[in-house]
Structure 1
């Protein structure tokens, strides 16, 4: 609850929220706030916090799910990994990169290729 003294707003104890904690440090000071300006400050802070939460959510979602799980040819995977077809075949035979046989050709799920990339250790 805000308390007004001589047209000035004294920020009373605020609900413990992320926004509240930012404004809370101003609790014991007296400010002459224009209501529109105060609303704009709150609106911008809420938008910033929503963006942060959405960015975090999207990052976690992209780490756990693959939205593009189409089948890739050997050539496409070799280009994507910047390796030769022979190296790709060796990685598949060793079980490091899983492929699936469709007729006489071998295809790779995009999610398997991404899993393989994540499993690589940095040099």
Structure 2
């Protein structure tokens, strides 16, 4: 991937998705710094924060954008890659929720009631 092909200066869902089209599969992942540099020509922390916001928006729009500290960001090539990444995100979310429970001194089921979050599917 050549930075000159994409260097647009703007981190938007369209520009990030265009670059990620060349990062399909875990083996082709790119770090936040690499993606930001490819798109903007910069490596500022503010740009990396903006990238994370754009990645979140892309995921919320249904794009299979995976990310892991060991592999970087990439589009899932297989269902297995997507499942692994969804498991990673779920584990990270659960860790955060357990921390909230500990700080508030409540059990996870009690926190669920306080937050009104459907953490489990009703059968």
Q: With CA pairs under 8 Å and 6+ residues apart, which has the higher RCO, 1 or 2?
A: 2
Bin the TM-score by the shorter chain.
under 0.3
TM-score under structure 2 normalisation? 0.27
Which structure would you say has the larger Rg? Answer: 1
Structure with the bigger percentage of strand: 1
Higher relative helix content: 2
